[in-house]
A = this chain, B = another copy of it.
Amino acid sequence: MPIAFCIEARDPGSHARAGTVTTEHGSFPTPAFMPVGTAATVKGVWPGQLVEMGYALVLSNTYHLYLRPGHERVRRLGGLHRFMGWDRSLLTDSGGYQVFSLSALRKVTDEAVSFRSHIDGSLHVLSPELAVFIQEALGSDIRMVLDECVEYPAGRPEVEDAVRRTTAWARRSLAAARREEGGMFGIVQGGMFPDLRKRSVEEVCALDFPGYAVGGVSVGEGKELQREVVALAAPLLPADRPRYLMGVGTPEDIFFAVSRGVDMFDCVLPTRNARNGTLFTSSGPVVIKQARYAEDPLPPDEECGCPTCRSFSRAYLRHLYMQKEILSSMLMTVHNLHHYARLMEGIREAILVGNFKEFMKESLGSRDT
């Protein structure tokens, strides 16, 4: 079954839309946020807890799974869904972003990117075809083409090269695909050059993918430039396909991107911040290690109904964090992911009832970030 996307409502005052994406592993409502399950686990939570929070889609990282435990091993064990005990939809990235950000000694040619593992220094070559084969072995529902992600700042010739390669690699990815199930999303690049963004959109979208991602953001360009790119690129992507903004972001970033027509997001912020002791709350961030919380009997967020807020105080979370207890990461991850799930629900609901702009204003106005 290919990937289906149905739009249920459009916000009259912006590009925001509410819809449903359907894969072999069920449907998920959009706008959607994906928790990041780097090494076949969303750190600190049971898969069942994700379902309880309302998540029906998670992301896992091709780069990490390719290196360990290896995609062929995962395939022999019945695929990534079975391996990690997750029976809802699963999106895998292409590995490109990690190759460009984590690995050492990478070298890009038109053919492929070679790199050394950040773990053991071993040499690897990732081609668009291999990225497809790895993801097909993992059996993810949504697979991403390998693109060339350029760090900010980058000169025009470099970005132009990346756009050209990204298109060529997208074409090769489609040609390499062997699985009928699921589908592959194209990715547009173009750095911070409006005309190159447009060119990338035109070239990649001509290939007719069932969904498209805006890549090459969250690469050091800063909030303002990121928003310019999103504002430019997202509305250019085909209106009848899901649009995915990779690696973004804060609640503020998500609101902005939704207003420009983005449907899907992933980001390590809620999970990573949880492990670092920072909670997202309805009144802004709570940095739990602060001494002011040592005897604070309140839940992390008085407006939150998550399992953590229902049972535990800031004082207890601070104690767990200071003691480096496993439960610290567990409780705070559930809270932050619950916060994000409710955020996305609220956004979707607001679009459906036609008051997205008011909801955004209200939500962002009450933060002190």
Contact = CB atoms under 8 A, between A and B. Distances in A.
A83 interface: yes
A46 B145 CA distance: 39
Interface string A309-334: 00111011001101101110111000
Interface residues of A, number: 37
A47 interface: yes
B44 A294 contact: no
Given A69-B294, A327-B44, A330-B326, A84 B39 contact: no
Interface in A321-368: 322-323, 325-327, 329-331
B77 A315 contact: yes
Interface string A39-55: 11101111110000000
B83 A325 contact: no
Nearest to A68: B323
A295 interface: yes
Count copies of this chain in the complex: 2
A294 B74 CA distance: 10
Nearest to A328: B41
A330 B40 contact: no
Nearest to A40: B319
Contact of A316 (B85, B295, B329): B85
A68 B316 contact: no
Nearest to A324: B39
A326 B68 contact: no
A307 interface: yes
Contacts of A294: 69, 73
B319 A69 contact: yes
Contacts of A323: 39, 68
Interface in A22-61: 39-41, 43-48
A61 to B, nearest CB: 12
A58 to B, nearest CB: 13
Nearest to A320: B41
A44 B320 CA distance: 11
Nearest to A319: B69
Interface of A: 39-41, 43-48, 68-69, 73, 76-78, 83-85, 294-295, 297, 307, 311-313, 315-316, 319-320, 322-323, 325-327, 329-331
Given A41-B320, A43-B327, A326-B329, 20 more contacts: A39-B320, A39-B323, A40-B319, A41-B325, A44-B327, A44-B330, A46-B307, A46-B327, A46-B330, A46-B331, A68-B322, A68-B323, A69-B294, A69-B322, A77-B297, A83-B315, A83-B319, A85-B312, A326-B326, A330-B330
